[in-house]
Structure 1
């Protein structure tokens, strides 16, 4: 999937839905069933949905009758499917010893 900035740059400046009711009818059939929507809780979410929330129509949403088809739709794997843990970012450093540091400042004993 393209990053947010690329999706925003090619999106139409027209709102994808004329009203909230249209949006509410469309989302359960698409976003709520899509693995990219689930990723909101894992890696920040679907950039296509974020562009749409700004009142712009992403090019990934292709007109289909009285709604859209999302070209990036992937069937959700389900909440019972384990999601791989992301690799740690070495730039963030380590939190090892942080609890001991705070405990020492507060004069607490840490049970190990």
Structure 2
């Protein structure tokens, strides 16, 4: 999943503000943006950062933010593009390759789509087993 540009995010955003005051915004951004790989360049001083945050600064509501825990400071929205810097690696699902010499009846590409499963915060993540 590629992060949308500012223009793409602005085009899909809707009217309204995501946070009622600066405290809500700072708590949420500390919880998400403060440790997200998409905003890391802003923290290093290398670039503009996440386009979704820039859209929120324009008093628009990014379509990529969905309700999570209303009333919980710093957790009221979930960002579809959030990926912690501690996660490492590419989070995109990879298709299982066809075995060598295996004949296929139909191509897989039209039936595969990029997807990312979201889980509530604090949910244990699956681990590799031997």
TM-score normalised to structure 1 length: 0.64
Partner Cα separation in structure 1 for residue 48 and residue 26 of structure 2: 22
- Tell me the SS of whatever aligns to 2:14: coil
**Corresponding residue for residue 52 of structure 2:** 48
**Corresponding residue for residue 74 of structure 1:** 83
Runs of 4+ in 1 over 6 A off after TM superposition: none
**Corresponding residue for residue 32 of structure 2:** 30
Q: Give the number of equivalent residue pairs.
A: 78
Partner Cα separation in structure 1 for residue 69 and residue 30 of structure 2: 17
How big is the alpha-carbon RMSD for the aligned residues of Structure 1 and Structure 2?
1.7
Give the number of the structure whose residues are more often helix, by fraction: 1
Larger radius of gyration: 1
For residues 3 and 24 of structure 1, do their structure 2 counterparts lie closer, same or farther at Cα, with a shift above 3 Å needed? same
Unmatched tracts of structure 2, length 5 or more = 71-75, 87-130
Deviation of 1:43 (Å): 3.8
**Corresponding residue for residue 65 of structure 2:** 61
- Tell me the SS of whatever aligns to 2:20: coil
Deviation of 1:13 (Å): 1.3
**Corresponding residue for residue 21 of structure 1:** 23
Unmatched tracts of structure 1, length 5 or more = 78-112
Deviation of 1:42 (Å): 2.9
